[in-house]
Amino acid sequence: MVFVVHNVGPTEVFDIFIEDRLGFRVRKGRRSVLVRQGAKRMLSVWFKAPPGAELGKSNSVVLSITGRKSRVRSGQIINLIVA
């Protein structure tokens, strides 16, 4: 999955948190990203169902991003389904 962070405020470092209760996330990747004022940054997050996962099983993943200085927070819930 690809997420886009668009910073409309001053240049800031954003901390990234991913809650994945079933462990579908493959790569841990970066935990923070610097986004300049008015700029966009793309973040890739990879998911893969573990071997033997039941077809049709769903996993709700929560992605949240918080500005270190501003404490502004944004998030998204993604529902993944084993196919």
Which CATH number goes with the domain that contains 56?
Answer: 2.60.40.10
- The domain total for the chain is 1
Q: Is the pLDDT of residue 26 over 80?
A: no
Tokens of 12: 């800031």
pTM greater than 0.75 (yes/no)? yes
Structural domain harbouring 68? 2-81
**Number of helices followed by number of strands (H, E) in the chain:** 0, 6
Which residues make beta-bridge pairs with 61?
Answer: 20, 78
Structural Rg of the chain based on CA atoms? 14
Using one digit for the tens of pLDDT, what is the confidence trace for 42-63?
Answer: 988 888 888 888 899 899 999 9
